[in-house]
Amino acid sequence: MEWQNLAAALFPLGHQIGEKDNFLSGSAQVGAATIAVVGTTEHAPIGVEIALAQARFVLETVREHPGRPILILVDTQGQRLRHRDEMLGINSYMAHLGKCVELARQRGHKTIGLVYDQALSGGFITSGLMADACYALPDSTIRVMGLPAMARITKVSEKRLTELAVSNPVFAPGPENYLRMGGVQEIWSGELAPQLQRALAEEHAGDARGALGLARGGRKLAQPVIDAILAGRNVLAA
C-alpha cells in the first residue's frame, strides 16, 4: 500500500506527514488527539541515516510534545547491507533507535507499530516490535529471513524448512504467523481509522507477546521460560 493512501485511511481528520528519502515523519489527528507519526516507505533499507532520523524524531517528540502518542509505520527490507554501514556500526545505530523508543515509553508516550507493507529482520525489530503493541495489514509481508537465506545459514535444506513452515510459524512468513506467535497484536482489515483509535485507547501493561504466543499456540515455551526466570528457577532443570 502506498503510504499516502494509508495515511488517508488512518487519518480522515487530516495529517501533516512528509516523506524525504523514504523517511516518514510528522503528525496526525486521531479523534481529539494529535499523534506523532514516524516510519519508512518503499521497502527502505535501514542504514545509519534513517536509523538516526527516526531516533531524532522520537527524541524531539519526547522533548517538545510530552506524552504525545507515537505511531511507527513499518515498510522496510531490513538492515542495509553495505560495507560502509557495517564499518560505521549499524548495529549500534539501530540499538540507539530501539533505546529511544523505550525512553519514550518510560516517559509516558504510548507507542504503536503498524506494518503496512513489508517488515524484515532488524529494521522491524528496532521499530514496530519495540512498540507497546504492533499491528499489521492483511497484505503485509513479515519475516525474519527468507527461507532460501535461512537454508544457507542453518544448513537445513529449503525443502525441509518449507515443510516445517507448514506447522511451525517460526519458519513461516506472513502476518498470520506473527499473530500466532504474539508478535502482532491484531491484523487490521476494513476501516483503519476506528481500529487505530481503539488501539491508542487500549492499555498495554508490560510485554505480553510471550503470553499471547502461548495462548495462540504459536510459541509454546517462551512464556514458561520467562515465568521460570522471573521466579528464579533453574530453567534447564524445570
- Dump pLDDT digits (tens) for 103-112: 999 999 999 9
- pLDDT beyond 60 at 238: no
Measured on CA atoms in the order 138, 141, 146, 150, is the torsion positive or negative? negative
161-165, 169-173, 190-194: the lowest-pLDDT one? 169-173
Structure-model confidence comparison of residues 183 and 166, the more confident one: 183
**Can you give the C-alpha Rg of the chain in angstroms?**
18
C-alpha cell at 236: 534447564
Give the residue carrying C-alpha cell 481528520.
13
Phi, psi at 234, each rounded to 5°? -75, 110
Per-residue model confidence (pLDDT) at position 94: 93
Confidence band (pLDDT; 50, 70, 90) for 174?
Answer: confident
Does the pLDDT value for residue 237 go beyond 60? Answer: no
Q: Which residues pair with 64 in a beta bridge?
A: none
Q: How far is 114 from 186, CA to CA, in rounded Å?
A: 10
Residue 205 CA to residue 141 CA, distance in Å, equals 27
Beta carbons of 192 and 201 less than 8 angstroms apart: no
**141: which strand partners?**
118
Greater confidence (53 vs 165) lies with 53
Range 83-122 burial, b when 16+ CB lie within 10 A, else e: eebeeeebeebbbbbbebbeebbeeebbbbbbbbbbbbbb
- pLDDT tens digits, 13-51: 999 999 999 999 999 999 999 999 999 999 999 999 999
Judge whether residue 139 has pLDDT over 70: yes
Express each pLDDT in 44-59 by its tens digit: 999 999 999 999 999 9
* pLDDT attached to residue 205: 77
